[in-house]
Structure 1
Amino acid sequence: MKTSKPVAASKVIMTQLVLPSHTNSLGTIFGGTIMSWIDIAAAISAQRHSNREVVTASIDRLDFIAPVYTGWVVNLKASVNYTSRTSMEVGVRVDAENPKTGEVFHTASAYCTFVALGSNGKPSEIPELTLQTDDDKRRYEDAKKRREVRLANKAR
């Protein structure tokens, strides 16, 4: 029988400072930098859940909501939303904090799919997801629907 792990076991909180090297001529962060940070936070979450090396299979959706400026702090929160046999969806929320005012802004969200790899480099089974809260259950059901859409699109 497969093992099971709670969503809480995969949670990641990652904090970054936006430096001038991260920004464009407008003083706002490059979208690719945010994408890279999202991929890193999501990969750590997937590894925590699976206890395996993981690879990014897809970034299903990435929405930029508000700009982030030089000197601001970026907080990324990631956790596993859904698991199948060898893959999992990780949701990432990105918030930016203006250190001068203390205001916090939701700046981006993304859903990433990862595949766990065994020592042979092939996909490897992962633990099931234990849903403990209403939020865990809602995220799981939403992720299950997104997975069905991804699989239907892949079949086309």
Structure 2
Amino acid sequence: MADQTLGPDASRPAKRVADSRTIVTRNVTESDMNGQGRLFGGRLMEWIDEAAGIAARRHCGGNVTTAAVDQLVFHRPAFRNDVVVIVASVTHVGRTSVEVRVDSYVEDIATSRRELLNRAYLTEVYVGEAGRPTPVPFSLTFSNDAEQDEWRAAEQRRRRRAQDRDEA
């Protein structure tokens, strides 16, 4: 598939998904543990938020703030001395926000094999100097069908979030 740009304003300059992809690697230490001897979920959520923020800042070219976290699903635990790899990628660009998918893995350092630990989607709002939502200057372009499929799934998540807000 050739590069393709989607979004509410295809006239904006575009960045590729790969341009803002962020990979963070952490070693689980004693201070990261909960009372059951596993990685504290709140610590992982902190790492996820940081990685998403970096990916969003790279895409927007400025500061962002986390507006929402949804579909935060834990698949397995992590333990002391585990290596956790966090991969964040922009999946959707709106007018003033971007959605970032963050996949977290436990990596076997001997084989480099990764097992999914967690998947989350975060909405990051691009903010100007006054701290107010600001139009995102870049649209998003895709290099493969999987990236385009993520965009379409993000559109569905956006509609669902809007419906949830209306019902609340």
TM-score (norm 1): 0.95
Q: 1:13 aligns with which of 6, 10, 23?
A: 23
| Partner residue, 1:4 | 14
Q: 2:89 aligns with which of 52, 58, 79?
A: 79
Q: Which runs of 5+ in 1 are unaligned?
A: none
Partner SS state of residue 33, structure 1: helix
CA distance in 1, matches of 2:96, 2:23: 24
Partner SS state of residue 24, structure 1: coil
| Partner residue, 1:48 | 58
| Partner residue, 2:79 | 69
CA distance in 2, matches of 1:60, 1:109: 10
CA distance in 2, matches of 1:125, 1:137: 22
The CA RMSD over aligned residues, in Å, is 1.3
CA distance in 2, matches of 1:134, 1:42: 22
| Partner residue, 2:161 | 150
CA distance in 2, matches of 1:140, 1:100: 35
2:142 pairs with 1:136: no
Deviation at 1:45, TM superposition (A): 0.3
Partner SS state of residue 47, structure 2: helix
Deviation at 1:98, TM superposition (A): 3.6
CA distance in 2, matches of 1:24, 1:133: 40
TM-score (norm 2): 0.88
| Partner residue, 1:57 | 67
Deviation at 1:77, TM superposition (A): 0.3
1:28-58 deviation digits (Å, cap 9, x = unpaired) = 1000000000000000000000001000000
- Residues 93-108 of structure 1: matches in 2 within 5 Å? 93-99=103-109, 103-108=113-118
Q: Which runs of 5+ in 2 are unaligned?
A: 1-10
1:73-127 deviation digits (Å, cap 9, x = unpaired) = 0000001000110101000000012446755321100000000011222111111
Partner SS state of residue 76, structure 2: coil
Q: Percent identity?
A: 37
| Partner residue, 1:39 | 49
4+ long deviations beyond 4 Å: 100-103
Report the AA paired with residue 57 of structure 2. Answer: Q
